Amino acid sequence: MIYTACQDKNKALDPKNPFASEFNTPYGVPPFDQIEPEHYKPAFLAGIKQQTDEIKSIVNNPEPATFENTVVALDETGSLLDRVSSVFSAISGAKADSVIQDIEEEILPLLTKHHSDIFLNDKLFARIKTVYEAIPTAGLNVEQKMLVENYYKSFVRSGILLDESQKKRLREINEELSLLTFNYGKNLLEETNNFLLVIDDPADLSGLPAGEVEIASQTAKKKGLDGKWVFTLSKPSWVPFLQYADNRTLREKLYKAMYNRGNNGDESDNKEIITKIVNLRLEKANLLGFKSHADFMLEETMAKTPANALKLLEDIWKYALPQAKTEKEALQKLIDEEGGNFKLASWDWWYYTEKLRAKKYALNEEEIRPYFVLENVREGAFETAHKLYAISFKEIQNIPVYQRDVKAFEVNDADGSLIGIIYLDYFPREEKRNGAWMGNFREQSVNQGNFIHPIVYNIGNFALPAGDDPSLLTIDQVETLFHEFGHALHGLLSKCTYKSTSGTNVYRDFVELPSQINEHWAFYPEVLKSYAKHYKTGEIIPDVLIEKIEKAGNFNQGFTTTELVAAAILDMKWHTIETPLTVDVETFENEVLNGIGLIPEIIARYKSTYFSHIFDGGYSAGYYSYLWSEVLDADAFHAFIEKGDIFDPETARSFRENILSRGGSEDPMVLYRRFRGADPNPEYLLQNRGFITK
């Protein structure tokens, strides 16, 4: 449904609407207890009108264009639209029922048109251009120059220099793309929720840990299937099944359901949408003077060109694929030793990897999980941040939340001053999309001399509590929690002046540095001993288990890296096409993956029809960023190693001041060199993944 009846957009927003004014709540957090679905659309419409009027005032200002009356004024427009957009964005990802989805489908075209109206406004651009050309003599500081340059480039990259017919076509493309990406995500959520592996024979649960069986029983009860067990396509459900279930036929059924999402030839099929998206992205890039979408996207990154990104991927691939082949042979040998009369398939990899890990390192993840209580791991992340940056966290009681199991925390600096607020939403539900991410309810800035404290959130899909047992995390989930918390620190510790340059508003291949470096602390012995406590006995994780974790640290790294790099290359190939796609999606994907030699026992981490990062999540031609940033994070963490102290105060202070607090206020490589004193050494990534020795 596309909303066209906009005749009410000129009406003032009802003062009773929670979005009508700044939130009158503790810390200015969203009043979730007052917000209802019917409040969103009127607030969006009023917000669009408000910002449009504010921009008219800038354009019609008779005074000559200056940094303050044009660029700063533009950056400060849209306060109402920011309020409703930030809340709605979080809800549409974390609690998107059919009502929210309908609102999103209705509003998206209006927001896309509004964005185009701003960045295709010739009079507004003329003023921006005047300020941009005056940079050499304007006496601006580094952040102010960056703000002006960013706005100037945003207008150019949005098509302001095109002729009118080209602008008209660009508007059409933008609006069509907004709906296509929305429908892609909607289809994926439906496909994820619609499949259930229902088990009614207890024998089919053989091999599964008791906790996973209990969770499957609880899931079945919620579905009205008492006495049965249900496994879903939520990652905390399907991964343990693939790791432990002895029934190979059911493992195959569940795994194929996972990787065929959006590829079932039904009304939720994403293949036609993908073709339209990549062709429209190419057409848009061509209109703007680029030969491919990847060339367009990477212009504003550290990599700069697809060739540079692909070179990194290919360099890592040379190490990863041979290691994956060696791992495949070891798994096949284990199958043969057990008398299995079959060839290793992709749905066997997780199961036999778990067996081989137990055999090789005497390490079974189920032996470790009792020490990884969600709340304790969270406290471990808090304590790590405290030791590094002297910040503290205090849970806030009786604060509005949008879901009853969401927690909110006040974050304070060493002197007791407020830094910001963080919300944590960790459990899966049907209305929540898969994965984990960070976002903002309010970005940090300084407005008219007032420091605006950030309000951020982390969202995950971690293991549910099982019966009376708490949520127990896997090693991967512990790493994910620390990763997303690193993003949150980037948003929280920002000390910039302008919202457009603060926090995580940085290059896509730089934004993963704060998140990925934070993972490094998670499994260090002194950190583990601060949070890894057995949920029944309170026993601190013993040294023997820590030693096993360390020894197995790079186990299965060939698989992990190969599936990641394969997905990144697939993304890049989708977006380096220079002529419209004519072959079908599966043919294109197979040609890419076969072309790089991906073995059939491993699939790319994301197949195209459920690769939401690139078709619904802002990472198009950007999935390589995780590896580009890993070059940075591996090198940056080595700065601590060189000092002989993973909590070295001076190194932590420098990382906070030069990276975390600076947002996008300066060129990222300049920031990085200021912290490290040199360019990053890519060898540390290879060492990190066990491909070369230290």
Which residues are identified as catalytic? 484
Do residues 355 and 629 make contact, with C-beta atoms less than 8 angstroms apart?
Answer: no
Q: How far apart are CA 602 and CA 275, in angstroms?
A: 24
- Collapse the DSSP code of 450 into the 3-class scheme (helix H, G, I; strand E, B; otherwise coil) and give the result: strand
| Residue 373 DSSP code | B
Cα–Cα distances (Å) from 282 to 125, 567, 621, in that order, read 25, 20, 12
Q: What would you measure as the largest C-alpha separation in the chain, in angstroms?
A: 84
- The b-or-e profile of 613-640 (16+ CB within 10 A means b, else e) is bbbbbebbbbbbbbbbbbbbbbbbbbbb
Q: How far apart are CA 329 and CA 327, in angstroms?
A: 5
Do residues 147 and 500 make contact, with C-beta atoms less than 8 angstroms apart?
Answer: yes
Do residues 71 and 148 make contact, with C-beta atoms less than 8 angstroms apart?
Answer: yes
* Close Cβ partners of 309 (under 8 Å, ≥ 6 residues apart): 294, 298, 303, 509, 572, 621, 624, 628
Quick one: which of 548, 486, 513 has its CA closest to 631? 513
Quick one: which of 486, 481, 479 has its CA closest to 512? 486
Residue/partner pairs of 324-328 with CB below 8 Å, 24 or more apart = 324/558, 324/559, 324/561, 324/562, 324/599, 324/602, 325/558, 325/599, 326/558, 327/353, 327/556, 327/558, 327/559, 328/599, 328/601, 328/602
* 366 token code pair: 């189920």
Residue/partner pairs of 253-260 with CB below 8 Å, 24 or more apart = 253/197, 254/197, 254/347, 255/346, 255/347, 256/347, 257/195, 257/197, 257/233, 258/233, 259/346, 259/603, 259/607, 259/610, 260/609
- For tokens 């790791």, name the residue: 243
End-to-end CA gap in the chain: 57
